Amino acid sequence: MFEDIKPNWQLDYELYEKLLNERVFFTNTELKDRLLIIYKKIYLYTTLTNSITEVDSRSNIENFFNECKNNLIISYDLTNINYINASKQILRSAIESFFRFSLAISRYIEYKENKKNRIFSVTESLRELKSMQDTHKVGRLTRFVLDYYECTPVKSVYMNLYTLYSDFSSIVHVNTKDNFTPHKYLSDYILLDEDMIHVHLSHIEVVINSIIQVIFYFSFYLDDERVGIKKRDLMEFESTLGDEHCLDLIQSYFETTRVQG
């Protein structure tokens, strides 16, 4: 008789299974079109820009690229099931991976320029770039990235990423009431906070938009490495940027540089 009485954990687990069957995915709601746009941008990053991973096989360029890609996909997936704070934490990791990727690419670009100028020794700048891309002191990494790209047409893009990274850090290092996860039970995740989800979707777009724009910037330095990304390849992407003109600024920067050279 007593064996027929289910223990509390089993009853709770059955409720969990019921919840899984009732779980709502945002891709099945009115948010589908918005999520589809973001998905297409993540796909663009993983395909159009994938050739950049073939640059300098001795470095961690490919590893950082893939880590960033995986973080973007996981963050997107967590968003779809309303795990917003968890998605922010992973999105923060995507930004950090992209910062490391950026420095690895820049180190290779600087190394190439040194070779052209018949500088074959390891310079202090190359050492610093390697040190910063591998450092465990993330505060030093993020500040170095801002300084390193200060005089480039992607300065504001990196600032956008840095600002979001700082905001997401408060979610990782929970120390104020506003940053605690608002849900107490799994069933709470079925409830939709429209303001929160729309803000978070905007943040994901800022991150993926910034990443694609920066890789477009790097492609000009790597044209002879068959990493040519043409602005026409990004026409649909550019149409989603509104009044932002970063791609034009990047292209103009290199056109002006060539004329002056």
Tens digit of each residue's pLDDT (9 = 90 or more) over 124-165: 999 999 999 999 999 999 999 999 999 999 999 999 999 999
Q: Mean pLDDT across the chain, nearest whole number?
A: 87
Prediction pTM value? 0.88
Whether 255 shows a pLDDT value over 80: the answer reads yes
Nearest 5°: the CA angle 35, 37, 40 is 110
Q: What are phi and psi of 29, to 5 degrees?
A: -120, -170
Q: 15 falls in which pLDDT band (50, 70, 90)?
A: confident
